[in-house]
Amino acid sequence: MMRERLHDLMARAAALARNGGRAVFPNPMVGAVIFDDAGTILAEGWHRCCGGDHAEIDALKKLGRPATGLSMAVTLEPCNHFGKTPPCSHALVNAGIKKVYIAALEPTDRACGGCSHLAHNGIPTEFVPGFENDLAELNRFFYTTAKKGRPWVTLKAATTIDGFIALPNGASKYISCPEALAEVHRMRAGHMAIAVGAATVNCDDPLLTVRHVAGPDPLPVIFSERLNLRADRKLLDRAPVIFTAVADADRLAPFTARGCRVETVTTIGQALRTLWEKYRINSLLVEGGATLHAAFLAGDMADELVRFIAPFHLGDGIALRGAPVLTDLTLCRDWQLHATGRFGVDAYIVWRRGAPTARPE
């Protein structure tokens, strides 16, 4: 088959993968197409939700008959383990698929080996290049958990032109315009968890829900090293995860009595590993405040910086803090501009670094 047609088939599989959205988290978004020797697509599928059929199985079911003599293009190497569903590699063998084209290898030790299983059963696999960047972007949360053992972390801040996030009294409700606020809520819906510090909870009493757009609410997370957190805040009714260095049972009791899940940790790294290993959270949106942002930057625990800049000056107030001061400017050249734009009257800037890739190893 001509290479151009294989590229088109994989492009269709990649487009199908996007249909999965957040419903598949913490699994990856995957798409698949089944086609004949002429390159005619006979069935399509995608991973629809965590615990549901994977893309390969979805496509096979839609085909509705044995796949003997047919080929498949799938964006990720078929899994080779028994999890919430049986291994896709076994299903492809049983269905009679004659060849499998992939765009990326499975990065986890638990699920890898699908290509080897297919080869052992006489089914060749072939890599289709050109989709590494798109798939790395699409499944950046998945690749981060697979390679770093923690969630992808987005630090989001809304500031004035002169770099303040709130008035001197802490009020920050009206810094962002309505269009920027709607985008923030889309970001909330696109992450599995959302984090703030104790000062933000005490001052703003936020709900941290998705309100201005349609989408699921993220799991609320509160960082309070000294547990200087008011026990009467309405956010505690949402059973948040609270990370603190305090281990005193008497001090923890008012929060556990409210249904909070309290985790005693000493570093942000430990907290992030707990979010992934215990709660299966693959993405964390950190919204505030300045001290928490500084802690994530100081600990080198951020993958993405998102800034909304409102077109006015405060002259004074609470400023967004950064990591500890550096004496060598060459050490601060590690962020790359990823995207710019505007929402309403507000500017929008995104920086990224160290994003995992989907390139086969």
What pLDDT, on the 0 to 100 scale, is given for residue 97?
Answer: 97
Domain with CATH 3.40.430.10 in the chain: 143-352
Q: What is the pLDDT of residues 335-349, one digit of tens each?
A: 899 999 999 999 999
Confidence of residue 329 (pLDDT cuts 50, 70, 90): low
Q: What is the pLDDT of residues 12-46, one digit of tens each?
A: 999 999 999 999 999 999 999 999 999 999 999 99
Rounded mean pLDDT, 109-120: 88
Distance CA 203, CA 171 (A): 8
Domain with CATH 3.40.140.10 in the chain: 3-137
Distance CA 184, CA 280 (A): 23
Q: Quick one: 359 exposed, middle or buried, by C-beta within 10 A (0-12, 13-18, 19+)?
A: middle
What pLDDT, on the 0 to 100 scale, is given for residue 330?
Answer: 52
Q: Are 342 and 350 in contact (CB under 8 A)?
A: no
Instruction: Specify the fold of 143-352.
Output: Dihydrofolate Reductase, subunit A (3.40.430)
Of 264, 232, 237, nearest to 249 (Cα)? Answer: 264
Distance CA 78, CA 344 (A): 43
Beta carbons within 10 angstroms of residue 116's beta carbon = 13
Confidence of residue 82 (pLDDT cuts 50, 70, 90): confident
SS3 for 16-84 is HHHHHHHHHCCCCCCEEEEECCCCCEEEEEECCCCCCCCHHHHHHHHHCCCCCCCEEEECCCCCCCCCC
CA distances to 100, 158, 264, 280, 299 from 277, rounded to whole Å, are 32, 31, 15, 6, 19
What pLDDT, on the 0 to 100 scale, is given for residue 211?
Answer: 93
Rounded mean pLDDT, 149-154: 97
Confidence of residue 108 (pLDDT cuts 50, 70, 90): confident
Catalytic site includes residue 44: no
**Residue 89 token pair:** 């590699």
Beta carbons within 10 angstroms of residue 48's beta carbon = 17
- In the chain, the percentage of residues whose pLDDT exceeds 90 is 75
SS3 for the chain is CCHHHHHHHHHHHHHHHHHHHHHHCCCCCCEEEEECCCCCEEEEEECCCCCCCCHHHHHHHHHCCCCCCCEEEECCCCCCCCCCCCCHHHHHHHHCCCEEEECCCCCCCCCCCHHHHHHHCCCCEEECCCCHHHHHHHCHHHHHHHHHCCCEEEEEEEEECCCEEECCCCCCCCCCCHHHHHHHHHHHHHCCEEEEEHHHHHHHCCCCCCCCCCCCCCEEEEECCCCCCCCCCHHHHHCCEEEECCCCHHHHHHHHCCCCEEEECCCHHHHHHHHHHCCCCCEEEEEECHHHHHHHHHCCCCCEEEEEEECCCCCCCEECCCCCCCCCHHHHCCCEEEEEEEECCEEEEEEECCCCCCCCC
Find the catalytic residue in 56, 183, 287, 304: 56
Does position 333 have pLDDT exceeding 60, yes or no?
Answer: no
Distance CA 50, CA 356 (A): 22
CA distances to 8, 36, 44, 46, 64 from 40, rounded to whole Å, are 11, 6, 11, 18, 16
Rounded to the nearest integer, the mean pLDDT of the chain is 90
Rounded mean pLDDT, 254-270: 96
Instruction: Specify the fold of 3-137.
Output: Cytidine Deaminase; domain 2 (3.40.140)
Rounded mean pLDDT, 266-276: 97
pTM of the model: 0.89
**Residue 56 token pair:** 């390969």
